[in-house]
Amino acid sequence: MTRLDAVPRTHLAHTPTPLIPTPALARHLGLPAGIFVKADAWTGFGLGGNKVRKLEYELSPQRLDGVTHLITAGGPHSNHCRVTAAAAAWLGLGCTLVVNGEPEDPGRGNALLHRILGARIVSVPDRSDRAPAMDAAARQIEKDGGKALVIPLGASTPRGSLGYAVAMVEIHRQWQELGEAAPGEPPRIVVSASSGGTLAGIILGAALLDWPVPVLAVSADDPSGEIRERATMLAQEAGALLGPDGPSQERILEAARTVEVRDDFVGGGYGAPTPEGEEAIRTFGRFAGVVLDPVYTAKAGAALCALESEISPLVFLHTGGHPAIFR
């Protein structure tokens, strides 16, 4: 995959992350083709999760040239804010996090980690206040003689999405390496989705590899149509970054059509626990030793647990989020 390898990035993630068979879970759920967990909770850097792979491309050496500060935004317990703050600290840069709403207890979970990692936190009342507050922070830094790099929500940009095309190359290789142990069918990938960059990278990776894997994306908040649209557009723009060597736009659209996006596990909204999600946390914990987070992977896990008469083996992409357990 030299075409992807040619895109500059800053190495942050500990990869490849393992692809772990979970036979007891598959037996318990009656899914004889098997369940494999792609453990991206363990990308390691800044306590890991999916945002690390995306940031590797957002924070390429070229883009960091002359930069003194990183600015990004999210909720008061954002995983993306945590990893961005860790990257800024490691790179020796300042970091401003624009956070909508106040955490119930700033001494717990990601809110605590944002502070430990030394970020300056600007609280705004609403999601819609985040973008103008990031712009204002960037202007102030420039006025003070610095240079800010603003990283959009979730690092879900075309560039950031490339991180998940790389993850797909890993999964594909790990699937081949299973050899005899690999089930006959290509796997179906089950993944949590929100800002869409992870899903976009999965789509691009499938197109790049010419690997016809069906994907089940499970929304953590937004309506399925919005997530599908966002991820498809990002996949197309990310594909364009690869130039003439990348997959054609038609090929990317074809891969996007194999994606099913579900929003019927969101429940009361972003971060609101659901009975199915809590049950999924107990099931993955008890039968796989795999700990899900309550905001994202619990809802994707609930969708997996609800699959009936599934004939494909499943790859559950664990996107991380562990600090939310300790909010």
Give the contact letters, 280-309, x = binds to ligand PLP (CB under 6 A), - = no.
-------------x--xx------------
96 is an interface residue for ligand PLP by CB under 6 A = no
Measure the CA–CA gap between 183 and 54, rounded to whole angstroms: 30
Query: CB 178 → ligand PLP: shortest distance, Å?
Result: 25
**Is residue 42 near ligand PLP by the rule CB under 6 A?**
no
Quote the Cα angle for 313-315-317, to 5°: 165
Is 194 a binding residue for ligand PLP by CB under 6 A? The answer is yes
Q: Could you tell me where the DSSP H helices lie in the chain? A: 2-5, 23-29, 51-58, 61-64, 79-91, 109-116, 130-143, 158-177, 197-209, 224-241, 249-257, 275-288, 297-305
Q: Which two tokens stand for residue 144?
A: 């003070």
Find the length of the chain.
327
Interface residue with ligand PLP, options 103, 205, 246, 320 (CB under 6 A): 320
Residues 6+ apart with CB under 8 A from 71: 95, 96, 97, 98, 134, 137, 138, 141, 148, 149, 150, 151
State in angstroms the smallest separation of the CB of 146 from ligand PLP: 28
Q: Is 222 in the site for ligand PLP (CB under 6 A)?
A: no
> How far apart are alpha carbons 125 and 132 in whole angstroms?
12
Tokens, residue 266: 């969101």
Provide the minimum distance between the beta carbon of 115 and ligand PLP in the complex, in angstroms, as a whole number: 18
Asked if 198 touches ligand PLP (CB under 6 A), the answer is: yes
Judged by CB under 6 A, the residue of 195, 224, 232, 312 near ligand PLP is 195
Largest CA distance in the chain: 61
- Binding residues for ligand PLP, how many (CB under 6 A)? 21
Tell me how far, at minimum, the Cβ of 311 lies from ligand PLP, in Å.
26
- Tell me: does residue 246 bind ligand PLP (CB under 6 A): no
**Measured distance CA(101)–CA(41) in Å, rounded:** 26
Shortest distance in whole angstroms from residue 231 CB to ligand PLP: 7
Determine whether 183 is exposed, middle or buried from the number of CB atoms within 10 Å of its CB (0-12, 13-18, 19+).
middle
Q: Work out whether 321 is an interface residue with ligand PLP (CB under 6 A).
A: yes
Cis-peptide into 23, omega within 30 deg: no
Contact 200, 160 (CB under 8 A): no
Q: Which is nearer to ligand PLP, 141 or 222 (CB)?
A: 222
Per CB under 6 A, which of residues 151..180 are in contact with ligand PLP? 154, 156
Least spacing, CB of residue 83 vs ligand PLP, in Å: 9
Q: Which residue's beta carbon is nearest to the bound ligand PLP?
A: 321
Within residues 66-85, the interface with ligand PLP by CB under 6 A covers 79-80
Interaction site with ligand PLP (CB under 6 A): 49-51, 79-80, 154, 156, 192-199, 293, 296-297, 319-321
